[in-house]
Copies of this chain bind each other. A is one copy, B any other.
Amino acid sequence: MPTIAAQIFQTLADRIAQGDVAPGQKLEEKALADEFGVSRTPVREALRELGARGLIEINPRRGGVVARISVPQLADMLEAECELEATCARLAAQRLTAVEREQLYDLHRRCAEAVKAKDLEGYLAANRDFHDHICRGAHNTTIAAMAVDLRARLAPFRQRQAGTIEARMQQSLDEHQGIVDAIRANDARTAFDAMCAHNARLSAGVMRLFSESMLAS
């Protein structure tokens, strides 16, 4: 049985990732302690951990708020994610095992079927698995962990654009095809460029929506 603090950390991390608590919202120790029926101590530990991972901002004596972000900061993080995933794609093109290659083709097929069926939910899940598989396929746990952490931090801001993906599913699928082809050909450089271009296009969409929402508020 994990510690109470670890459970609360996980719960809060999920809430933030899924947008249940909005960026900028205060996280008060006492209120959370009451909600979970524990004392402030484990809540504090959970908040510290969230702070260390960049999911919330903690100011001394002023408590924690869900991490906010400015337009340039979002651009910064999206670019970092783009570089990270592209690096993974480059390494994956050189290192994927035969089994992993087949799994990648399977995931790509799942994406294609979801697009054909216009199944947004299924596409998002398959798409996530596709990207995850490539990150793990780099066979470097440090880089993969950095990519996962970064994606967790970006999740709250990416959340809102889920609805707009529908129109782009077909194009994304075509780009995935390019990535798969490059990996199949062990063409590291093309795999990097294809992943980079793919993520850059997605990031541009996120930026556009985010900028709009910032102007609106």
Contact B76 A142 (CB under 8 A): yes
A2 / chain B contacts, CB cutoff of 8 Å: 60
Number of copies: 2
- Whether, in the assembled complex, A124 has its beta carbon less than 8 Å from a beta carbon of chain B, the answer is no
A6 to B146 Cα, complex, angstroms: 24
Q: Shortest beta-carbon distance, A54 to chain B, in Å?
A: 9
Among A49, A142, A143, chain B packs the most CB atoms within 10 A around the CB of A142
Interface string of A63-99 (1 = CB under 8 A from B): 0000000000100110110010001000100000000
Majority SS at the chain A contact face: helix
Q: Of B3, B48, B79, B80, which is within 8 A of A52 by CB? A: B48
Contact-size category for A: 20 to 34
**Are A3's CB and B60's CB within 8 A?**
yes
Residues of B near A44 (CB, < 8 A) are: 45
The docked-state distance in angstroms from the alpha carbon of A48 to that of B46 is 9
A79 to B141, CA, bound (A): 10
Contact B60 A6 (CB under 8 A): yes
CA distance A44 to B76 in the complex (A): 32
Docked-complex contact B77 and A142, CB < 8 angstroms: yes
B142 touches A80 (CB 8 A): yes
Which residues of B have CB within 8 Å of A150? Answer: 142
Instruction: Please pick, from B48, B73, B91, the residue contacting A48 in the complex, using a CB distance under 8 A.
Output: B48
Instruction: State whether A80 and B140 are in contact (beta carbons under 8 Å apart), knowing that A6-B60, A60-B2, A146-B146 are contacts in the complex.
Output: yes
Q: Check: A15 CB closer than 8 A to any chain B CB.
A: no
Decide if B60 touches A146 in the complex (CB within 8 Å). no
How far is A52 from B47 in the complex, measured between Cα atoms in Å? 11
Q: Which residue of B lies closest to A150 (CB)?
A: B142
Q: How far is the CB of A114 from chain B (nearest CB, A)?
A: 30
Give Cα distance in the complex from A45 to B49, angstroms: 9
Which A residues contact B (CB, under 8 angstroms)? 2-3, 6, 44-45, 48-49, 52-53, 60-61, 73, 76-77, 79-80, 83, 87, 91, 140-143, 146, 150
3 nearest A-B pairs in the assembled complex, by CB-CB distance: A52-B52, A80-B142, A80-B143
